[in-house]
Amino acid sequence: MSAVDTTYPARRPTDGMLALAKDIEANHKRDAAEQSTVPAHVYTDPEYWEREKAAIYDCLPQILCPSALLPDAGMALPHDATGRPLLITRDAQGLVHVFLNVCRHRGTRLVEGVEVCAAKKLVCPYHAWTYSVDGRLLALPRPDTFPDLDKADNGLIELPSIETGGLIWFCPKENPDFSYAEKLGEDFDALGMGEQHFYRRKLHKVKGNWKLIMDAFLESYHVTRLHAQTIGPFFKDGVTSGDMIGPHSRAAVGRLEEMESVDLTDMAQLRRVVTFAYQLLPGALIIPSPDYINVMVMMPQAHDLTLVEDFMLIPELPKTEKARDHWERSWALLDGGVFASEDFRAAELGQQGLSTGAVPELTLGTMEGGIRRYHETVEEALRAAN
Ligand code: FES
Ligand SMILES: [Fe+2]
């Protein structure tokens, strides 16, 4: 039993989510028909990573964080892990912006640190040029000494962004196609992601290729084995189903015996018997547990090094010690236990083994077809950029 009230407003799953649940009920496993392979060099070759970076991470829309991290107008958050100095803000109208965290005067980093701050105005530490959280240059000291300066031309440099389904996305390139982000947003709205509260976040440094981390979330073959001591038993006898939303994967694991007694069109009931998971291109994972949601964002630094930021969202902030204990245990179980000590560790062990060259080609069983599919999507994105 949960120590807190986790009742959600009545919500209906999207048609796509329902179709997966119906598949599970009909016991239509969507396993691959055949074994397949993935070449090892896609994880170990630094040049391959450079191509992925240019074609994928420097081009495609990607998630930065959940909306719940910046709940109020006037908030700002420096964000560096994508390799760019970004500044995420929420303006007075509640609109999200993603800027380069760089003063237009002489290029100084505008906001220091890595924490969310309540700012309204952003004052450069060097000569105190002052910006609004919507990016406008509001004022500068001794404006008479800049006779040719037009303030309107010297606002912060903004990158394309969108807030949908309780997540903040950005794109490093102009004119991005956010249509799949919006489509996914329908599922995340059904999960009530936008109404969640931010509970905890942690930036993990994983010594493994970003796709090795994705792989661990693209098959259920390991779940009752690698996770035998943690969440494995919960997934015993689970039936898996999945589909694609553009380049993004959506998976569902259901416990068949429990599904009969449940109204699948009620989101809260459905979540108790079917666990959904989303594996997004380039590298993000959305993992809703029955009463909370983890969002994981992968930010590769090199072919063998990935920063992963894990966020935990909960339906209401804890009001009692008992409630806090409950969420603290969930956070420790998933972030520290399942993800860090098990899935990320498996990715690091994979990198260590593959870098020896001993296994030039990885073998995938029919339960691991999701990995093959994901790698094809990555290859497609590489081809599209050429
Ligand atoms: S560099 Fe920012 S005010 Fe001068
Ligand atoms: Fe796992």
Pick the atom of ligand 1 nearest to 128's CA: 3
Pocket test for ligand 1, best of 87, 102, 129, 156 (most atoms within 8 A of CB): 129
Q: What is the pLDDT of residue 32?
A: 74
Report the predicted TM-score, pTM, of the whole model to 2 decimal places.
0.95
Cβ–ligand 1 contact at 116 (below 6 Å): no
What SS3 state is found at 70?
Answer: coil
pLDDT of 28 above 70: no
Phi, psi of 310 (to 5 degrees): -105, 130
Ligand 1 neighbour 110 (Cβ under 6 A): no
Q: Identify the residue whose C-alpha is closest to ligand 1 atom 4.
A: 127
Q: Which position has the token pair 């389904």?
A: 165
> What does the mean pLDDT of the chain come to?
94
CA atoms within 13 A on the CB side of 113: 7
Residue-wise pLDDT tens digits, 237-276:
788 888 999 999 999 989 888 888 899 999 999 999 999 9
CA distances from 85 to 31, 96, 339 (A): 41, 17, 27
Q: How far is the CA of 227 from the centre of ligand 2 (A)?
A: 7
DSSP 322-348: HHHHHHHHHHIIIIIIIIIIIIIHHHH
Ligand nearest to the CA of 225: 2
- Residue 127: CB within 6 Å of ligand 1? yes
In angstroms, the CA 45 to CA 47 distance is 5
Q: Is the CB of 131 under 6 A from ligand 1?
A: no
Burial class of residue 240, CB neighbours in 10 A (0-12, 13-18, 19+): buried
Provide the token pair at 211: 């796709």
CB of 138 closer than 8 Å to CB of 132: yes
Give, using CA atoms, the residue closest to atom 3 of ligand 1. 127
pLDDT band for position 233 (50/70/90)? confident
Is the pLDDT score of 337 beyond 90?
yes
Check whether 386 has a pLDDT greater than 80.
Answer: no
Give me the pLDDT at residue 178, please: 97
Q: What are phi and psi of 259, to 5 degrees?
A: -75, -25
Reported as a single tens digit per residue, the pLDDT across 112-154 is 999 999 988 999 999 999 999 999 999 999 999 999 999 999 9
**Domains of the chain with bracketed CATH:** 15-60+196-385 (3.90.380.10), 63-163 (2.102.10.10)
For ligand 2, a single-atom ion, the residues with CB < 5 A are: 216, 343
Residue 65, pLDDT score: 98
Measured from the alpha carbon of residue 108, the closest ligand is 1
Q: Indicate if ligand 1 lies below 6 Å from the C-beta of 141.
A: no
How many Cα atoms are found within 13 Å in the side-chain-facing hemisphere of 116? Answer: 17
